[in-house]
């Protein structure tokens, strides 16, 4: 493809502004790549055909502009599939996908790979959505105009735009093309080659950026595990759990004195024993919700200091998950940073902000580290939990 820069446009097509951008690109004999919104494609199929006829590249953005950090995986899968169907109706097979806002969830790369899509970020951003003048935008991107640069712009007013129209983007094209050609780079489409490999493009990463596979350690041979229903928990075991929690939870351990739980009474306990001593514990709790749904949670997971790093935490977590499914859970909710990689590798996903919430002190609250797994699919509506601190 030679020395090239790549002009890319998100959030269209728009009947007015995309048409003007197409005229400007044609006048300058420049080609671009458009990451389109499926709903807009359905509304303007003739405009998309014009884009293709002019030699521009059409790629997938979304069906509706929902950030991956704000939705369940199943929602994003349905969204990109709907977008791909709209493109397919016009004979377009997308090869790249730029998620809304360039934002990734921990599962975005897997969703893309399953559909044969390459995630496409950018290396230069004039922030045209802010409504700044052309000179300001050129100054902003000038240092990044180099061979293979990918410049992100918008041919429609997407969510969060601070401007009333896309006129500045139309005006930006000519000086941007001139600057690129001055430096020896021809504006061209992304293509389907290897030009996106190995470059530091911007895609806003999820909380966990470690894509290496999680390899659980086998649990220590001297620790055995069992699940005990709360109704069958004997006094000696309850005392052992209280002692473990008091030793490992510091000042908060006093809240568990006597009964061995703080906020929600467990349905079952998963314990790890070394000899007769309880060295690991996690509680299975039932979470009441509105609308009602069989939800179970993991609470009060703890491993004795001397036994950490031996696969014990993963084993008690697996016990909670297995017991929750056995009890009929449709959803399992866990709040954990330490176990995040293990849970995500087991099919859990971060809970979108306020998809689950509870009320405390006259305010709606949610846990920033909630992870969830589902028997079938995520809930269709937000869930209000009777108690979220567990």
**pLDDT (mean) for 68-82:** 93
Distance CA 11, CA 51 (A): 14
Query: What is the reported pTM?
Result: 0.81
* Largest CA-CA distance found in the chain, in angstroms, rounded: 83
pLDDT, one tens digit per residue, over 101-123 is 998 888 999 999 999 999 999 99
Query: What is the arrangement of strands in the sheet containing 363-365, beginning at the earlier edge strand?
Result: 289-290, 383-385, 356-360, 363-365
Label residue 203 by pLDDT band (50, 70, 90): confident
> Given this model, what pLDDT does residue 136 score?
97
- 347 burial via Cβ count (<10 Å: 0-12, 13-18, 19+): middle
3-state secondary structure of 251: helix
Distance CA 122, CA 295 (A): 40
As assigned by CATH, the class of the 4-187 domain is: alpha beta
Label residue 340 by pLDDT band (50, 70, 90): confident
Distance CA 200, CA 312 (A): 38
In whole numbers, what is the pLDDT of the chain averaged over residues? 92
Label residue 195 by pLDDT band (50, 70, 90): very low
* pLDDT value at 332 more than 50: yes
Label residue 311 by pLDDT band (50, 70, 90): confident
20-24, 48-52, 303-307, 311-315 — which is least confidently predicted? 311-315
> Given this model, what pLDDT does residue 341 score?
81
> Given this model, what pLDDT does residue 194 score?
42
* pLDDT value at 352 more than 50: yes
The residue among 377, 298, 361 whose CA lies nearest residue 334 is: 298
* pLDDT value at 209 more than 50: no
The residue among 337, 367, 330, 333 whose CA lies nearest residue 348 is: 333
Label residue 210 by pLDDT band (50, 70, 90): low
Distance CA 344, CA 262 (A): 26
> Given this model, what pLDDT does residue 197 score?
39
Which is more confidently placed, 201 or 145?
145
* pLDDT value at 285 more than 90: yes
Label residue 198 by pLDDT band (50, 70, 90): very low
Q: What are phi and psi of 33, to 5 degrees?
A: -120, 130
pLDDT, one tens digit per residue, over 217-234 is 677 788 999 999 999 999
Distance CA 131, CA 347 (A): 41
Distance of CA 323 to the CA centre of its chain: 27
Ordered alpha helix ranges (H), the chain: 17-28, 38-43, 45-53, 73-89, 108-114, 134-141, 167-182, 235-248, 312-326, 340-345
Distance CA 17, CA 9 (A): 11
* pLDDT value at 196 more than 80: no
> Given this model, what pLDDT does residue 213 score?
56
> Given this model, what pLDDT does residue 251 score?
85
* pLDDT value at 1 more than 60: no
Alpha-carbon torsion (311, 312, 315, 321), positive or negative: negative
Label residue 69 by pLDDT band (50, 70, 90): confident
Architecture label for domain 224-385: 3-Layer(aba) Sandwich (3.40)
Give the start-end residues of each E strand in the chain: 4-12, 32-37, 57-62, 96-97, 118-119, 150-154, 186-187, 224-229, 268-274, 277-287, 289-290, 295-303, 331-335, 349-350, 356-360, 363-365, 370-374, 383-385
> Given this model, what pLDDT does residue 159 score?
87
Distance CA 337, CA 73 (A): 20
**pLDDT (mean) for 132-147:** 96
- 246 burial via Cβ count (<10 Å: 0-12, 13-18, 19+): middle
> Given this model, what pLDDT does residue 293 score?
96
Domain ranges in the chain are 4-187, 224-385
Label residue 70 by pLDDT band (50, 70, 90): confident
* pLDDT value at 274 more than 90: yes
């Amino acid at each position: 493809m030679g020395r090239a820069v790549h002009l890319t446009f998100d959030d269209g097509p728009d009947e007015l502004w995309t048409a003007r951008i197409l005229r400007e690109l044609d006048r300058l004999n420049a080609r671009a790549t458009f990451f389109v919104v499926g709903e807009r494609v359905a509304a303007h199929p003739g405009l998309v055909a014009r884009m293709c006829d002019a030699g521009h590249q059409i790629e997938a953005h979304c069906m509706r502009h929902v950030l991956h950090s704000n939705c369940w995986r199943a929602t994003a899968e349905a969204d990109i599939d709907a977008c791909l169907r709209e493109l397919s109706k016009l004979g377009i097979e997308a090869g790249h996908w730029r998620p809304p806002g360039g934002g990734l969830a921990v599962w975005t790369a897997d969703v893309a790979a399953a559909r044969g899509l390459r995630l496409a970020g950018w290396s230069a951003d004039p922030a045209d959505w802010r409504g700044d003048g052309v000179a300001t935008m050129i100054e902003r991107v000038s240092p990044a105009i180099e061979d293979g640069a990918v410049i992100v712009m918008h041919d429609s007013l997407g969510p969060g735009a601070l401007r009333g129209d896309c006129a500045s983007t139309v005006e930006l094209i000519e000086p941007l093309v001139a600057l690129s050609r001055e430096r020896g780079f021809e504006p061209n489409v992304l293509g389907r080659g290897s030009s996106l490999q190995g470059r530091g493009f911007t895609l806003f990463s999820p909380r966990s950026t470690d894509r290496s596979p999680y390899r659980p350690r086998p649990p220590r041979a001297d620790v055995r595990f069992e699940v005990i229903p709360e109704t069958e928990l004997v006094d000696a075991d309850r005392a052992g759990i209280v002692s473990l929690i008091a030793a490992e939870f510091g000042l908060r351990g006093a809240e568990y004195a006597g009964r061995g739980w703080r906020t929600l009474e467990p349905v079952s306990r998963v314990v790890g024993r070394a000899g007769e001593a309880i060295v690991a514990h996690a509680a299975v709790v039932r979470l009441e919700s509105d609308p009602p749904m069989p939800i179970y949670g993991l609470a009060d997971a703890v491993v004795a200091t001397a036994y950490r790093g031996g696969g014990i935490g993963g084993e008690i977590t697996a016990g909670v998950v297995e017991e929750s499914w056995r009890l009929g859970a449709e959803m399992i909710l866990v709040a954990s940073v330490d176990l995040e990689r293990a849970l995500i590798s087991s099919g859990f996903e971060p809970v979108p902000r306020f998809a689950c919430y509870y009320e405390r002190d006259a305010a709606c609250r949610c846990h920033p580290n909630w992870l969830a797994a589902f028997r079938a699919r995520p809930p269709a509506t937000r869930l209000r939990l009777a108690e979220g601190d567990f």
